[in-house]
Amino acid sequence: MSADKSLGGISLLDDISFKDKRVFLRVDFNCPLKDGVVTDDTRIKAALPTIKFLMEKGAKLLIGSHLGRPEGKKDMDFSMSPVSERLGELTGYNILQMDDPMSDAPKALLKQLKKDELIVLENLRFAKDEKERSGKLANHWASFIDVYINDAFGVCHRKDTSVYDLPLLIKNRGAGRLIEKEIKALGEVRNNPKRPFAVIMGGAKVSDKVPMIKEFMEQTDIFVIGGAMAFTFLKAKGFPVGNSLVENDLVSFCKDLMRSLDVRDKKLLLPVDFIEAKSINSETGKLVQKISDEMSGFDIGPKSAKLFVEELKSARSVLWNGPMGVFENEAFSEGTKTLCKGLAGSSAEVIVGGGDTAAAANLFGGEFSHISTGGGASLAFLEGQELPGLKALRPLRKEVLEDTRETLDPVDPAEFEKDGGFDAKARAEDQKLKNKG
């Protein structure tokens, strides 16, 4: 077992023997497609270290992933075929693509795989049981698998069959390189950040971040709030926000939070200027310091971005979760872009949350200490939740007992009788002790 406490007993690749073992590798190849071609292979590349390690160690590899939301039906718009093709191009391996996640073919094929061959199952969500979890799918796979490895951090917050039920049926199970990296990076910033420590929160809703705010309240020195969630805070302070998105039921919470931060002598930075427009789809926006009644804010302004970047220069570690505006629309992208460039040039350890934040970091470029591949999974982990996908990798109590149980050497009946039984042996030991005394 791995000795790393942050992994909670989860075995890593170096802890397991893979030579000639049939290995089920759960990955997250949920890649964007256009006209049957992968348009962004970031998630495929993220899994390559684990795939190559397993192949080099002689594993008979079966890869499974979901793609999109086919809702338990075979929909070829979500077929894994384009992903398998791209994986083959990146690795040079011969990819055997299955046409059904419930296929019996891997049972025979796994034993016959050549050194440079591996199998990719069709989209796991083509099978209803991936979500319904009757046990049929998990038992089918478990019947011909020796080792289970999860390297799909982005779905570890879900209790899908391939993420939760299957590993519990396979004693030899563990985490791949990507999950190892995620747990260590996110665990470090959650449990032991370098101070001063700054947390940047953006995105649409305060409600999405309440557990995270509570989790980081005591150890965070600087809170930076941007994105649409800033407008609930600004309304709590009495600033006009026009038609901007506000969670009115959380205005009181924001007031209490700001008072708590003030009492604790924590810094709270809110936007001081904005890009307003009529609609999220507007092609242009207007820079203002006060949002008009009939307008909404869709990005922070340049003064806010500069203020945030300057203040963050004092931080030794930064956690960034949530964009500063609707960066997918170029008219509202500058705030997020400026912050991204500023963080990339920082000397601090910068951890970038997954989902939209990771997309923004990849779009605007720059080097960061870690860019998470998990959206909801990253947020749940940072909030202190136990992720089902990680829980399923940890040894069960009965497995620990089986592995650590001490066994006595078997007694030879003939020797037992010759010595007069256990009582005679015990008397002899007592006599030895008396002689020594």
Looking at residue 221, the DSSP 8-state letter turns out to be: S
- Say how many Å lie between the first and final Cα of the chain, rounded: 45
389 in a structural domain = no
Strand 197-201 to 317-321 pairing? parallel
Domains identified in the chain, total number: 3
Strand 274-277 to 296-300 pairing? antiparallel
Is residue 205 among the annotated active site residues? Answer: yes
Backbone angles phi, psi at 390, to 5 degrees: -80, -40
Q: How far apart are CA 222 and CA 383, in angstroms?
A: 18
Q: How far apart are CA 277 and CA 288, in angstroms?
A: 10
Active-site position among 128, 131, 133, 205: 205
Is residue 115 among the annotated active site residues? Answer: no
Could you tell me the residue range of the domain that residue 92 belongs to? 5-182
pLDDT for position 354: 79
- Per residue in 266-286, pLDDT (tens digit) is 999 999 999 999 999 999 999
Active-site position among 22, 43, 125, 190: 43
Q: How far apart are CA 249 and CA 227, in angstroms?
A: 18
Q: How far apart are CA 275 and CA 291, in angstroms?
A: 8
Q: How far apart are CA 419 and CA 415, in angstroms?
A: 6
Q: Is the pLDDT of residue 420 over 80?
A: no
Choose the final residue of a domain: 322, 347, 372.
347
Is residue 267 among the annotated active site residues? Answer: no
pLDDT for position 414: 45
pLDDT for position 421: 44
E-strand spans in 192-343? 197-201, 222-225, 267-269, 274-277, 286-288, 296-300, 317-321
The structure's pTM equals: 0.85
Nearest partner of 239 among 219, 255, 253, judged by Cα = 255
Q: Residue 95 is inside which H or E element, if any?
A: strand 94-97
* Region of residue 151 (left: phi > 0; alpha: psi -120 to 50; beta: else): alpha
Mean pLDDT of the chain: 90
Q: How far apart are CA 283 and CA 277, in angstroms?
A: 9
Active-site position among 58, 286, 376, 391: 376
Is residue 176 among the annotated active site residues? Answer: no
pLDDT for position 301: 98
Active-site position among 354, 355, 374, 375: 355
What CATH number is given to the structural domain containing 117? 3.40.50.1260
Do 93 and 215 reside in the same domain of the chain?
A: no
Do 251 and 157 reside in the same domain of the chain?
A: no
Do 170 and 200 reside in the same domain of the chain?
A: no
- Per residue in 375-401, pLDDT (tens digit) is 889 999 999 899 999 999 998 866 655
Residue at token pair 């949350």: 353
* Region of residue 154 (left: phi > 0; alpha: psi -120 to 50; beta: else): alpha
Do 159 and 98 reside in the same domain of the chain?
A: yes
- Sorting pLDDT into bands at 50, 70 and 90, what band is 428? low
Choose the final residue of a domain: 308, 332, 347.
347
